[in-house]
Chain A
Amino acid sequence: MAKSPISSDQAPLEQLRTVADLLETPALARLYAYVLRDGPVTVADAVETLDIPQGTAYDYVRKLEAAGLVAEISDGRPSEYDAEPVSLTLSTDGETQTVTPALVAAVARREEDGDIDVYIDRHGLDGLALALDYAFEYVDGTVNHRIAARELDLSPLEAEVILQALEPVAAEYATTK
């Protein structure tokens, strides 16, 4: 029996918990970004590609499935999973931020890219999300590190470091932004 396609009709607050985990757990973010990019995939594919323990991979898939971010799309053996692009918009007093697949992919690189890691430590996830917007422009050629530095209140050197670090993410997600 084929399972129904992924629906993103999960209750927002329920999804919020998992999205918060995605932003806090680079390995979970890597798994989600992988399924979104390469899905449908099996858990074994993920274990092999991402080099994470099998038990962890199953736990993560179940967690993402419960939040409606990943769904089993065939009940063949082994099961295949596909992902739904996350889009969760949060507002506080006057500030709005949307969690996008590109932001999750940026967080996912944190373990392998020390520049992103240091940037998050210094400027937080909101700072990273803002820098990511500039990285899209940087890839398009509609901003440079000097303008970004002034608008983000960074030194030109720090702006260039983070723009280059985020460049591969921005290039990959440019069409799906």
Chain B
Amino acid sequence: MTATYLVDTGVFVRCGGPDNAKFQRLRRAIRQSGTELVIPQRVYEELGGDPTVEEYPSGDIPHPDGFEDGWIVVGDELAYTDPRVSTIMDDARRFIANETERDEDTIEKADTALVALAAQLLETGEADRVVLLTTDKPAGRAAEHLLSERGFDDRIEYRYVSEEYLETITASEFR
């Protein structure tokens, strides 16, 4: 069963740019396993949304040129009109609001993009299995919880991308 790997903004910050060993290690692991990383449109926008972040050592994101080598691809647009997608976005907003003790109105639909894209890939049968690589714990938990409720419990996995995870990652993580 092949998996689709959905990747969040925090993973690229953690990697620290193309000159960094962690970035190179991740790229090698992905290439060796013959897979690719998929980023939601929202993440693509976040990564390129603030040029002033280049002042930070970890803000050296290869955007967008680095994404043209083919190992990172931008995912499909979210099908907002598909009730299976829009419903999970609403549920995810509620779940994240609850986890973070925030008012639901302050959680934006865009905050749920990772969860929604995972749902879309599974519901349409485009992916057999989805693995989320993120540092967004509330969203990761929302995806596992909400997609399990919809019967995808053995087809959704959330991995928290810590420093240690990236320092030891190999192609076997993507098989």
Chain A interface (Cβ < 8 Å from any Cβ of B): 114-115, 118-119, 122, 137-138, 141-147, 150, 155-158, 160-161, 163-165
The 7 A-B residue pairs whose C-beta atoms are closest, nearest first, are: A141-B137, A155-B50, A114-B57, A144-B136, A156-B46, A160-B13, A157-B53
Within the complex, the shortest CB–CB distance from A132 to chain B, in Å, comes to 17
* Assembled-state Cα–Cα distance A105/B13 (Å): 22
Chain B residues with CB below 8 A from A145, complex form: 9-10, 135-136
- What residue in chain B is nearest A119 (Cβ atoms)? B56
**Residues of chain B contacted by A141 (CB below 8 angstroms):** 99, 137-138, 141
Residues on B close to A: CB < 8 A? 9-10, 13-14, 46-47, 49-50, 52-53, 55-59, 61, 96, 99-102, 106-108, 110-111, 135-139, 141
B contact face: mostly helix, strand, loop, or mixed = helix
- B55 — which chain A residues lie within 8 A by C-beta? 118, 122
Mostly, the A contact residues are helix
The CA-CA distance from A119 to B110 in the complex, in Å, is 26
- Let me know if B101 and A164 touch, CB within 8 A: no
Residues A155 and B53 in contact in the complex (CB < 8 Å), given A144-B138, A145-B136:
yes
Residues on the A chain within 8 Å of B100, using CB: 137, 142-144, 147
Instruction: Beyond the given A143-B100, A146-B111, A156-B49, please list 8 additional residue pairs across the A-B interface where CB-CB is below 8 A.
Output: A114-B57, A115-B57, A115-B59, A118-B55, A150-B106, A157-B9, A160-B13, A164-B58
Q: Are B99 and A164 in contact (CB under 8 A)?
A: no
Residue among A122, A138, A146, A165 making CB contact with B58, cutoff 8 Å: A165
Closest residue of chain B to A165 (Cβ to Cβ) is B58
Known: A156-B49, A157-B9, A158-B50. A144 touches B59 (CB 8 A): no
The residue among A138, A141, A156 with the most chain B CB atoms within 10 A of its own CB is A156
Q: Chain B nearest CB: distance from A90 CB in Å?
A: 27
